[in-house]
Amino acid sequence: MSLQDIYQEILLAHNENPNHFGSMLDATYQAYGNNPLCGDEITIFVKIENDVVKAVSFTGEGCAICKASSSLMTSTLCELSLPSATDKTQRFIQLLSDTSIQAPNDLGELEALLGVRKFPARLKCATLAWHTFLKAIADAHR
């Protein structure tokens, strides 16, 4: 277990300059998520048009892992249909949580987050944005 596993350059870069950081005035859905024991708190904004995720952004305060994961998520989910975005999110949460799952080779930049699997205490930081995204779009499924 080395620090490079979790603090990869790419994550530190996303932490420093996160993508899509800021609130979204024309969001169709939004949700607040927090980890009450440690203090990470974020709000996820989502714009959905014709069942397609057109934009995702986030605000809030969190550790490097939480911020980098949020940043990566906002780019990953853009332009996916609502069902694919939901599926991708659920699969990614599972992948981080369950080390017995073989990682697919099409993860792209998200692969950098896999180091968290060796740091179970930080799992919640890495998954907060993804859980909050699911919370935000819960209403879109109705």
Examine residue 39 and tell whether it contacts other proteins (CB under 8 A): yes
Query: How far is the CA of 75 from the CAs of 3, 5, 41, 71, 98, in angstroms?
Result: 25, 22, 20, 7, 23
Is residue 62 close enough to count as binding other proteins by CB under 8 A? yes
* Residue 63 makes contact with other proteins by CB under 8 A: yes
Q: How many degrees, rounded to 5, is the angle at CA 139 between CA 36 and CA 88?
A: 75
Candidates 34-42, 48-56, 71-79, 82-90; binding stretch for other proteins (CB under 8 A): 34-42
**Interface segment toward other proteins; rule CB under 8 A; list 19-27, 74-82, 86-94, 114-122:** 114-122
Q: What tokens does 111 get?
A: 């692969």
Binding site for other proteins (CB under 8 A): 1-3, 6-7, 12, 36-41, 61-66, 119, 121-122, 125
